[in-house]
Structures are given as C-alpha cells and as structure tokens.
Structure 1
C-alpha cells in the first residue's frame, strides 16, 4: 500500500470546516428543503440512508411534519408524500434514480455531483461539491449533509462543530482502541448515527459491529457483551443501562458529545484500526464509490 496519507484522513479532518460552509448555504436553499407541515420521504443508500434516518427523526421531533426514511430500493412509490428528499453523494446510484422515477411528489436531491443523473432527474438540487470525497468510504459528505439538514430545522450547531474539532485528535482508552467487537446504541434520531458508526467500522476495519436502539439492547444483543468488547452509546444513557452493560465486563463509552461529533471519533478510530491491520481505508474490500446496476428493476 502507498505510504501517502489516505484521502479519508484528510476528509475526516475537513468536517468542521465543511459543516460551517454548508450552514452558510441555508439562506439560499431553504425554499427547496422540506417545509413545515409537509409529509416527507427521505431516501438514500448505505450511509446516505442512515443520514436520512437521522434527519427524519430530528424533523419529526422538531414538530415539522411526518417524515419517513427509506433505503431507496424500498421506497413505497404508491404512498402519498408532499416532497421526496434524496441523498446521493455520487449522483449516479441506480436505486436512487429508480426511486425518483417512481415518485409522485416533487423531488429535492442533495448530491456532490451537479451534472449527474440524480441531479438531472430531481426537480430541485442542492450541490455540496465542496464536501465530495476521493475515498470510496463516505465520511465528509454524509455528515455535511446531515448538518445542513439539522441547520434547516433551526438547531444551533456551533458547539457541535467545536466538539468535532476536538474529537479529531481525541485519545481513547486502550481497551476501546484495541477491542475486538463494537456495539453502538442510540435512541430516536441517534439510532441513524449508531447504524452509521457500525457500518464505518465494518467497511474500513472489517470488525464485528452491531447497532441497536438503546432499550432494545437488553432484549438479546447484550448476550454477546464481555471483556474485550465495547458498547458505545450515542446520547444520554437510559436509566440502568450502563450498569447492566458494565456487569458483563464490556467497556462502555458514554461521553457527553453530540452524536455527529462522536461519529467523528468513530471514523478516526476506524482508520487507525484499518491501517494497523494493513487495510486500505480509502478502498474497502468489495466496495465501489457508487452502485450502478445493469439489470432491470
């Protein structure tokens, strides 16, 4: 493998900067984002799907309107929506294009490719080309999209940006750095970030990872918890949960960080584990930047 610094390292470190840049776009893009009271479907694939889940949870919690998140391949085209929001870094993903074709509502796309097929198929487009990535793995584009969407809901995000900047060089305890298995837990919108954290570590470091809503964890998954494994909580722990996990011997990570800032720590840890194992964190095994299918739907 080349001794050059992986692209993903630079992309992870750029996140606080691109988050601020995306928030600066809000005055010019509010009109093409979901409006208060609209019934909205949010679609994506892989990491973009998990960002869609997080935004859907946030939007409903903010009282902005009913919001459903779907993997693009699972979009129920016959269901009525006022707007469909699609997230696609590459702007070429087949399942996203098929969903746009089936949508009866106006489609807004958030993409890094201003002249790609997704941008051409959508009615409105928000281009985050400054958050595009050379790595196959999504880090920068995904979180920048989520922060833009959070900002559109009126969230104050300066502190989150500061937390992420601090998380870039944060040291983790040795039993976290070297654990053999990770489970990520999060409730509400944080479940989306938990799924993304688990995906990042599977993709980049080929580790055994899982993700669950917090209160579901004791309904079976806790049975794998033991010494040498980590349970990482996004958001405040449910009452009694930390004590139950600690009793298994597993290490608990439950810090007071915003879940998106905490995700930055997971991204950085993933790269460290990948490099230590001799893997290329820019090009995980069997993955490509975009899935373009030849077969019919």
Structure 2
C-alpha cells in the first residue's frame, strides 16, 4: 500500500485510536515524551496537552535523551513514540534513563518491546509506505483523545470522509511556511516535513508569533503560508503576511480539527510530489525506520 492509499484508509485506524485512548489513555504525573522525526513532533503535541491538563511534561528528541540522559533523572516516567517500535535512539534512551516507560506504536512485537511496561499498539495504523501519514494522524487522534477527553473527537472518522471526497487544493509557491501555536505547532512541523520529504520543496515550520522575529524577512510573492489557526492572537498575522505578498492559507488548528487539516496537507504533499515528477512512495534517501 502506497502513501495515497494509506491516507485514504485512515478512518478505521482513527476509530481504533479513539477506542484505545478511552481504554488505556496515557500516564499522569511528570512525564518525558520522546520521539524522532515525525514522532518527535507528536511528542511535542502530547507534552503541550499534558501541561494543559496540569501535568508536568517535556518533549525531547529521542537522540537528545540518548546522548544526555544524566540531566533527565528527575522525571517519573517516559512515553516513547515510534511507528516501528524499533528506532535506535528511542530504545537506547529508554535503556539509559531506566525509568518506567510506555510505547505508542503500530506494531505488536519488536526487539525493544520488553523495555516498556505498557505498549499501546495502533495496529490498524500500521503502514507499508515509508512516509508517515496514517500512522501519524492516528497517533495524533489517540493523543488528543487521551489527554483532552474531548467528546467531539468521536466524530472525526465521519468528518474525514468529507475531507477525502473534497480535499481542495492549495496555491503553489517557491517556499512554504507552516505556522501554529500550542498543539498546532507540533502538527505544523509535521506538515512541513511532509512537503520536504515527498516533494523536495523548501518548507519550514515556525511557532506563529515567532515568525515575526526574523523569518518574516523571507516572505515574498512566491511564498505560501499555511496557518493552523487556533488562537485569536494569530489573526493580525494574516493581514501582515498578506500585505507582504504571501499567499496565506488558513486551516483550523483547534483540537477537533487538527487531524483533518493535517490530512488535507498530506494529500497536497502527495499531489505536489507527483506534479514535480517525484515518486512519493520512494522518497529520496529515506527508509521505513532508522536503525543505527
């Protein structure tokens, strides 16, 4: 199954994620969230939502925790995120930290599963494609439900059908910027990565209010800015960037809409890759999992 087929098959995996989130959830207390690549961006989403519910939480790249575990002994537990469950940096970080650990993954067995006291398997989100799409969006749905308990998330699989039927299209540009705050900030980083690894275009992500602090100088008439809007203070940024010549695309960035906005960007990344003569199912230099 290729990247496009994985995206189109996301609905059933989202249903499984919602059910598992209600039955298993995520730990409370001071928690260190670890991941690499896309999984690190999801860890950032999780840490933000955990802090919003009053929990002490921090997200770090797995490689950072692997290299410098001595500064992280004060945490009570680790939640590791890895599609394959085999990412070398995550497994070595968990060994080095020696803390009780959870794993959020898509495979029900792996060489490092014994390191984790709790393994949450999103089996219907398991992918064959190298580029993460369905696995990320399903894990995002899991994290959103587990950490917010929002009942409206139950409607996501049904709403997804409408997005897949009419995903819409977005402007083309010389450079693409993705902006967001809070949980949308992590998703903005994942969205930028989709365009980079599939279409090989210049795509960067920034926290919305940070964009004025330097990166704004890069804006021109060839710039497309995606704003995953979730806070009123982002509103003035729209006029400001439009006034500088950017084509601004506003997508809803609230908890109930983030997975749907991400799917629209995933579909755009696939289309853009095809337009550029690239095969999104065979991204340059990449493998399914990173093993050092």
TM-score (norm 1): 0.89
Residue 164 of structure 1 aligns with which residue? Answer: 160
Q: What displacement does 1:27 show?
A: 4.3
Residue 51 of structure 2 aligns with which residue? Answer: 60
Aligned length: 280
RMSD of Structure 2 on Structure 1 (CA): 1.6
* Cα distance in 2 between the residues matched to 1:162 and 1:248: 38
Does structure 2 conserve the Cα–Cα contact (< 8 Å) formed by 1:111 and 1:119?
no
Residue 33 of structure 2 aligns with which residue? Answer: 42
Identify unmatched segments of 5+ residues in structure 1: 1-5
Residue 247 of structure 1 aligns with which residue? Answer: 243
Residue 183 of structure 2 aligns with which residue? Answer: 189
Residue 207 of structure 2 aligns with which residue? Answer: 213
Does structure 1 conserve the Cα–Cα contact (< 8 Å) formed by 2:22 and 2:146?
no
Structure with the higher helix share, 1 or 2: 2
Cα deviation digits, residues 61-91 of structure 1 (max 9, x gap): 122x011001101115232112100011111
Does structure 1 conserve the Cα–Cα contact (< 8 Å) formed by 2:224 and 2:248?
yes
Does structure 1 conserve the Cα–Cα contact (< 8 Å) formed by 2:160 and 2:260?
yes
Residue 291 of structure 1 aligns with which residue? Answer: 290
Moved more, 76-85 or 154-163: 154-163
Residue 89 of structure 1 aligns with which residue? Answer: 83
TM-score (norm 2): 0.91
CA separation of 1:282 and 1:29: change in aligned 2, threshold 3 A: same
Does structure 2 conserve the Cα–Cα contact (< 8 Å) formed by 1:225 and 1:250?
yes
Query: Helix, strand or coil: the match of 1:18?
Result: helix
Residue 8 of structure 1 aligns with which residue? Answer: 3
Q: What displacement does 1:172 show?
A: 2.0
- Runs of 4+ in structure 1 off by over 4 angstroms are none
Residue 282 of structure 1 aligns with which residue? Answer: 281
* Cα distance in 2 between the residues matched to 1:93 and 1:55: 19
Residue 100 of structure 1 aligns with which residue? Answer: 94
Q: What displacement does 1:167 show?
A: 2.5
Does structure 2 conserve the Cα–Cα contact (< 8 Å) formed by 1:97 and 1:117?
no
Residue 196 of structure 2 aligns with which residue? Answer: 202
